[in-house]
Structure formats: C-alpha cells, structure tokens
Amino acid sequence: MGFSNLVLAILLFGGNTYSIDMESARETRCFWIGKTVPVDMEWMDSITRMYFPAMSKMELYRTAVDIAGEDPEDISEDSVHNDSCIYWKMHHNGTLKGRGFSGRSREYKTTFDRPNKFDFRPAEGEGYSGTVYVTLTDNSTFMFAPICTDEGEMAWGVFSTVPRLPERTMNQIHEHAKSLGFKKQYFVNVNYDKCDLSGASGTTSATVLTPSRNRMGSLRNRGQWNARNQY
Ligand SMILES: *[C@@H]1O[C@H](CO)[C@@H](O)[C@H](O)[C@H]1NC(C)=O
Ligand SMILES: *[C@@H]1O[C@H](CO)[C@@H](O)[C@H](O)[C@H]1NC(C)=O
Ligand SMILES: *[C@@H]1O[C@H](CO)[C@@H](O)[C@H](O)[C@H]1NC(C)=O
C-alpha cells in the first residue's frame, strides 16, 4: 500500500468517521401497538433530565439529525453513540426539549392523547415528528416507548432518569422490544461516559451536557432529512 493510500485508509477507517446511513436504519413499517401502560405522571413531572440510553437505530439517527441540525453525511457514527450526550426535558406546557451535540437543542410540541401516548412535532420548521407510546415503565427509572414516525417507520427509545441502566433492566427492555417485533440487529445505545454530567443529580436542568470533544461541523439544513423510500 502506497503512503497516500495508507493516509486515505486511516482517514476513512481509522477514526470511526463513517457518516450515519439513514437507509441502514430502516427496520419495519409502523405496526399496531395494542397494549400501552399508564405512566405515573407525577413521577414524570419530577424528572428534570431524561437520558436516552437505548433505542433503535432509526430513533437515534432521526433524533441526531434533528438535534444536531446537520445532514446525516455530516454526522459521524462515533459521534451519535459516544459524543451526542442527548437528554430531554418534558415541560408542563407540553414542550419536549431535546439537547445534545455540544449545546444544540430542539423543541417539540407534544399533544397528549392519554398519559401513555402522545404526538410530537418540531415547535418550529420541518423535522422529526410522530407518535410515541409507552408500553413498559417501572415508574421510577425508565420508560420504554415505541415510536411511529410520520413517515411510517417504526422506532423505539428508552427515556431514563440515569445515563446507564442496570444490565438486568436493559435485558428486560431488550426482551420487551423483541416481544413487540423489534430486531436485535437494530438495537443501539448512547454512551454517556465522555459527557460532562455535572448537575446530573437531577437537581438542575440548566446544565448543558457537552462532549469532551466536538466533531460536528457547521449548523445547516436543520432537520431536513426526509424518508425517500416508503417501503
Ligand atoms: C405506574 O403508575 C401508574 C399511575 O399511577 C399506574 O397505573 C401503573 O400501574 C404504574 N406501573 C407500574 C409498573 O408500577
Ligand atoms: C465508542 O467508543 C468506544 C470506546 O470508548 C469504542 O469502542 C466504540 O467503537 C465507539 N462507538 C462507535 C460507534 O464508534
Ligand atoms: C414551554 O416552556 C418551556 C420552559 O419554560 C419554554 O422554554 C418554552 O418556550 C415553552 N413553550 C411554549 C410553546 O410556550
């Protein structure tokens, strides 16, 4: 291998700098969620910061594109998993605020149907929208939410009070996901090890989580990814 080829190979493969590939995240069309479970709304109200430790690939990619405000080609696979530091806050007025990627944020309007089902869409402009259900919760550390995107793709995410759930809980969540029809090959996670979690005790929502390094480019084309192929 020549020197320039070697340099190219390192640039392309050496640093986990692959872009996220939306097509690779397509899992299944939306399916009927027959059974939802009630959530303790007082508990939910008390959560100042909801972490996002586990989800399907589609959910992570759609969220990353929207919060980072970048095209998928400009978001690296490594950054979504290891540097995104995504967290959420549900406000009383129905605004769901997502933060991550070194201080980026995105607000969604939510419309509650029942305490275990709500629609979300960006407060401003185009972006990620869909319907969130809750099918599993312990009313104390996590909620498991299947999500039907407005493009008709099924996704799921786990909202939690802690950045990392115990293995036992994660096993329960993954078994539940499989029982609904989600596939293991699309299970992904957000790793908060490199995030600054100061103020993470849940006592303040003012702290912005920042990754220790930032590989994101400039802000542009906020949330412009749209599904091209509808199965
Ligand atoms: C969660 O709280 C709701 C509302 O109080 C309750 O109906 C439900 O049974 C609780 N679920 C669990 C698993 O404790
Ligand atoms: C995240 O970082 C860990 C090491 O800290 C690494 O092993 C893993 O491959 C990274 N994940 C991705 C998707 O690049
Ligand atoms: C809802 O409340 C949050 C937090 O106070 C605020 O940032 C947001 O702008 C509000 N949204 C609307 C639509 O009033």
* pLDDT tens by residue, 174-207: 999 999 999 999 999 999 999 998 864 443 334 4
Ligand showing the shortest atom-to-Cα distance for residue 60: 2
In a domain, 197, yes or no: no
In a domain, 6, yes or no: no
Closest listed residue to residue 141, CA positions, set 116, 119, 162 = 162
Of all residues in the chain, what percent carry a pLDDT higher than 70?
78
In a domain, 14, yes or no: no
Q: What is the mean pLDDT of residues 20-37?
A: 95
93 lines ligand 3 (CB under 6 A): yes
Residue 112: the pLDDT is 80
Give the atom of ligand 2 at the shortest distance from the alpha carbon of 77. 13
Q: Residue 84, CB half-sphere, CA atoms under 13 Å: how many?
A: 33
Q: What is the mean pLDDT of residues 198-227?
A: 43
b/e per residue 106-115 (b: at least 16 CB within 10 A): bebbbeeeee
In a domain, 18, yes or no: no
Q: What is the mean pLDDT of residues 5-21?
A: 62
In a domain, 99, yes or no: yes
The CATH number of residue 128's host domain is 2.40.128.20
Could you tell me how many helices (H) and strands (E) the chain has, helices first?
5, 10
In a domain, 217, yes or no: no
Give the domain extent around 59: 28-189
In terms of DSSP H, where are the helices of the chain? 3-9, 41-46, 57-68, 77-78, 167-180
Q: How far is the CA of 222 from the centre of ligand 3 (A)?
A: 20
In a domain, 42, yes or no: yes
Q: Cβ of 179: how many Cβ atoms within 10 Å? A: 10
CA 24 to CA 185: how far, in whole Å? Answer: 11
Which is more confidently placed, 212 or 87? 87
Q: What is the mean pLDDT of residues 63-84?
A: 96
In a domain, 129, yes or no: yes
Length of the chain: 231
Q: What is the mean pLDDT of residues 153-181?
A: 98
Residue 217 has pLDDT above 80, yes or no: no
Lowest mean pLDDT among 123-127, 130-134, 203-207: 203-207
Q: How far is the CA of 16 from the centre of ligand 2 (A)?
A: 8
pLDDT band at 116 (very low <50, low <70, confident <90, very high): confident
Tokens of 32: 């009927």
Instruction: Give the CA-trace dihedral at 54, 56, 57, 63, to 10 degrees.
Output: -70
Structural domain tally of the chain? 1
Average pLDDT value for the chain: 84
Q: How far is the CA of 96 from the centre of ligand 3 (A)?
A: 9
This prediction's pTM:
0.83
Q: Which helix H or strand E contains 192, and what residues bound it? A: none
Pocket of ligand 1 (CB under 6 A): 38-40, 137-139
Q: What is the mean pLDDT of residues 13-22?
A: 74
DSSP state of 141: S
